[in-house]
Chains A and B, each alone.
Chain A
């Protein structure tokens, strides 16, 4: 299921060279091949309309390079080369020539919205190296962007100008795991899916799951306080992360890699790094509490005729499924239609329904869970709260139902780009925003089926269980007119209902200027004080966050 993130750079490159086409077999097909030794034709992605993004500095002319930062010189590079010792630990575009394709995966983001002028990528292999690098950068006023798998959605992990990219790829060791307590200690650069598979062997599960699991790094997940699909069940990283090892810009190693669930001794400073987006220091390792993996997982995919009905389903699910409910995801018809169109597949349900939701249960006893779930499904069906639905009968169907939800972001990007809004909205108003935005864009004459219209469609989906809506506007190209319709309209709308302009994606560059819609002046001022305290020179991930 995690093909999207791995594919993204490939697609990007393929698009650039005009050669295109990455093949992706369906999950079911590859499994068939595995167990039955049958060759199955791989499904082809149509050539994505990919191209390089505009430079962020051109798209946002108001952002000026901070003159306090030094320009990179050959001397700087020589220091880093000597320090890291390996030619492969850095990509040097300062003293040598680097192919654009080698630099782009670090310089641009996967939704092709942000692109910096990166000249140097460093891949330290240890916390000590990170410490030495940051100290040197701080002393020499060199700006830095910490980067993990670069799967962020708000431009937080790519440079704006010539900041040095500090990538965690080479710090990818699992340090320890306690079989009894379920506490995992791992380097920041461990890929989320790798960590989860490691835990699966031991009967545990990583308390975070998201579509980009195949390429995102857990350090990045923690730095951005990623939410994802399991938040409903396991809570946010602010609760599950027990300790952090991080490096401050002056080279200080913050060793708070505790393994204690309870520790009421002083300020809980690690919380500042969780969701700090690398603005006060760089996370190099985390210690995290992992829950027991559920043996019995069931997935149902339901359809309802209105958003009100889906809310009723959610209420019923909470009361009837109780402790086994592990995900409740909302999808609107448009989002599903676009997925089917891009993948050239059929919906799991017959006919068209205005809304869909995916319910996952996980528990320790298959029979107990099935009985509960079936009773619940029968109940919502006979009460006509839902109009149709399917229940996964095997693991392959289960994965394929999940991919209806997880595949949305990838498929939306198919036409060229996506304006993404990740919002917390009180449940009752959640979908109203999508309708309002669709109407507004329609009224502006920007939406249509042919190439002259920038907007393909406006869709809404998200983690309904957490009141988290993803409002996505799939576009053929990024267009100022679309932006003017969307902003500040969306933010003002959110402020009106006391929602949050960023539920789980963070602030990065995209939301920096809009924090005022969700936080008071006093709060922002306090945040800035923290930033100045730990990063007085402002070298950590500049131009972003607060």
Chain B
């Protein structure tokens, strides 16, 4: 059994505590001047990779944890965060601001990186919270011809097998596979740590390699055109009634009584 070489793709998205707003032209969500952070599901992937190493859950050990992100220069912020959490090094695939990649292009890019980095385990978020496509992991597994376990809530190692527990309708399902494989993470997998100051400082010295899509032999082909982006219809505000009588008459008015 060989040691693990884990590849962890991470994405820079609008912070999930921030309410996204659609731009005036209704072509996209407004991103300028909006706080961005690491996709929360990707935080779970980073955390899980680091824990596999720290808790020595895989006896042959973890040789390498490499995080990768495609996007504008600012994506390096979240790569540094991931390295502060415990990743060893980072790859930044440079793309221009607004040059969105579709899941297939991302999956092809990751396949090229898996080959290049000789990864045998890819742990990635089950979806990114900006476009919610949830396709990259499965597409990557398909391209690589590897087994995949999606929305993991627990990852265990036994011998050369990996047991992944996933939440399904009405309960949990446990699947087993052998390396190499693709795992996508779900919310209850772990609780990501804070980046501590000593580690933030160390992360600054960890290697970060820059490359472009063409270096990996991948083109950003877009098959879909965004026609229109609109905000959800505003919620109908609830009304307040002064007293019980008011409520009864209101309910009657609405035909509920």
In the complex with contacts A349-B196, A390-B195, A395-B35, A378-B17 CB distance below 8 A: no
Chain B positions 36 through 74: 1 when the CB is less than 8 Å from some CB of chain A, otherwise 0: 011010000000000000000000000000000000000
> Taking the complex as formed, is A516 at the interface, i.e. its CB lies under 8 A from any CB of chain B?
no
Query: Is there an interface contact between B201 and A388, defined as CB atoms closer than 8 Å?
Result: no
Q: How far, in whole Å, are A170 and B33 apart by their CA atoms in the complex?
A: 38
Assess whether A272 is interfacial by the CB under 8 Å rule.
no
Inter-subunit contact A377/B197 (CB<8 Å) = yes
Closest approach, in angstroms, between the C-beta of B170 and any C-beta of chain A?
A: 13
* Number of B interface residues in the complex (CB < 8 A): 23
Q: Of all chain B residues, which has the CB nearest A394?
A: B37
A397 neighbours in B (Cβ, 8 Å): 194
0 or 1 for each of B122-136: is its CB under 8 Å from A? (1 = yes): 000001010000000
Cross-chain contact B194 with A390 (CB below 8 angstroms): yes
Nearest opposing residue in chain A for B199, CB measure: A390
Complex Cα distance A381/B201, Å? 9
C-beta contact mask, A68-91 vs B, less than 8 Å → 1, else 0? Answer: 000000000000000000111000
CB of B198 within 8 A of CB of A388, answer: yes
Identity of the chain B residue whose Cβ is nearest the Cβ of A39 in the assembled complex: B187
The count of A-to-B residue pairs whose CB atoms sit within 8 angstroms is 74
State A377–B195 Cα separation when bound (angstroms): 13
Least CB separation from B194: chain A residue: A390
Among residues 1 to 57 in chain B, which have CB atoms less than 8 Å away from a CB atom of chain A? 15-18, 33, 35, 37-38, 40
Report yes or no: B129 in contact with A391, Cβ–Cβ below 8 A: no
Q: Is B221 an interface residue (CB 8 A)?
A: no
Interface residue from A36, A40, A87, A381 paired with B129 (Cβ < 8 Å): A36
User: Given A87-B243, A295-B33, A378-B201, do A394 and B195 touch, yes or no (CB 8 Å)?
Assistant: no
A365 to chain B minimum Cβ distance, whole angstroms, is 11
Given A32-B187, A38-B187, A395 and B197 touching (CB < 8 A)? no
- Tell me whether B200 is interfacial, beta carbon within 8 Å: yes
Residues of A within 8 A of B119 (CB): none
Complex contact B17–A31 (CB within 8 A): yes
Chain B residues lying within 8 Å of A348, measured Cβ to Cβ, are: 194
- The yes or no answer to A383 lying at the interface (CB within 8 A) is no
- On whether the beta carbons of A388 and B129 are closer than 8 Å, the reply is no
A35 at the interface (CB under 8 A from B): yes
For the complex, is A264 an interface residue (Cβ under 8 Å from B)? no
How distant is B4 from chain A, measured CB to nearest CB, in Å? Answer: 24
B37 touches A35 (CB 8 A): no
Question: Is B81 positioned at the interface, with any CB of A under 8 Å from its CB?
Answer: yes
Q: A36-B129, A38-B187, A88-B243 are in contact. Are A395 and B16 (CB under 8 A)?
A: yes
Chain B 63-92 near chain A by CB (<8 Å), digits 1 or 0: 000000000000000000100000000000
Inter-chain CA distance A36–B40, complex, in Å, is: 10
Look across to chain B and name the residue whose beta carbon is closest to the beta carbon of A393.
B81
Q: Contacts of B129 on A, CB cut-off 8 Å?
A: 35-36
Determine whether B253 belongs to the interface, using a CB cutoff of 8 Å to chain A.
no
Residue A399 is within 8 A (CB to CB) of chain B in the complex? yes
Within 8 A of B (CB), among A297-311: 300-302
* Contact between A381 and B197, CB atoms less than 8 A apart: yes
CA distance A159 to B81 in the complex (A): 53
- Complex CA gap A396/B40 in Å reads 10
Task: Decide yes or no whether A9 CB sits under 8 A from chain B.
Answer: no
A12 to chain B minimum Cβ distance, whole angstroms, is 23
Contact A35 B16 (CB under 8 A): yes
Interface flag for B242 (CB, 8 Å): yes
Q: Are A390's CB and B196's CB within 8 A? A: yes
Expressed in whole angstroms, the Cα–Cα distance for A501 and B201 within the complex equals 42
What 1/0 mask marks residues of chain A from 233 to 274 whose CB sits below 8 Å from any chain B CB?
000000000000000000000000000000000000000000
A105 interfacial contact with B, CB 8 Å: no
B196 touches A389 (CB 8 A): yes
Decide if B187 touches A40 in the complex (CB within 8 Å): yes
How far does the Cβ of A124 sit from chain B's closest Cβ, in whole Å? Answer: 15
A393 engages B16 (CB within 8 Å): no
A17-41 residues with Cβ-Cβ distance < 8 A to B are 31-32, 35-36, 38, 40
Given A32-B187, A38-B187, A40-B187: A396 touches B16 (CB 8 Å cut-off): yes
- Against A, the Cβ 8 Å flags (1 = close, 0 = not) of B183-197 are 000110000001111
Q: Cβ of A391 and Cβ of B16 under 8 Å apart? A: no
Residues in chain B near residue A390, CB distance under 8 A: 194-197
A123 and B181 alpha carbons, distance in the complex (Å): 65
Give a binary string over A269-301; 1 marks a CB under 8 Å from any B CB, 0 the rest.
000000000000000000000000001000011
Please tell me if the beta carbons of A393 and B17 are within 8 angstroms of each other in the complex. no
**B173-216 interface code vs A (CB 8 A; 1 in, 0 out):** 00000000000001100000011111011000000000000000
A31 CB contacts on chain B under 8 angstroms: 16-17
Are A389 and B17 within 8 A (Cβ)?
no
Is the CB–CB distance between B15 and A394 below 8 Å? yes
Contact yes or no, B195 A393, CB < 8 A? yes
Question: What is the bound-complex CA distance between A349 and B243, given in angstroms?
Answer: 49
Residues of B within 8 A of A381 (CB): 197-198, 201
What B residues does A389 contact at CB under 8 A? Answer: 196-197
Residues of B within 8 A of A393 (CB): 37-38, 81, 194-195
Q: List chain A residues, Cβ under 8 A from B194.
A: 301, 348-349, 390-393, 397, 401
Minimal Cβ-Cβ distance residue in B for A347: B194
Q: In the assembly, what is the distance between CA of A86 and CA of B18, in Å?
A: 41
B-facing residues in A484-535 (Cβ within 8 Å): none
Besides A389-B197, A397-B194, 20 other A-B contacts (C-beta < 8 A): A31-B17, A32-B40, A36-B127, A36-B129, A87-B243, A302-B197, A349-B196, A377-B200, A381-B198, A390-B195, A390-B196, A391-B197, A393-B37, A393-B81, A394-B16, A394-B35, A395-B15, A395-B16, A396-B17, A401-B194
The 4 closest A-B pairs by CB, nearest first: A394-B37, A395-B17, A390-B194, A389-B197
Q: What are 16 of the A-B contact pairs (CB < 8 Å)?
A: A31-B17, A32-B16, A32-B187, A36-B127, A36-B187, A38-B186, A349-B194, A378-B201, A386-B197, A388-B198, A389-B197, A390-B195, A391-B200, A395-B15, A396-B15, A401-B194
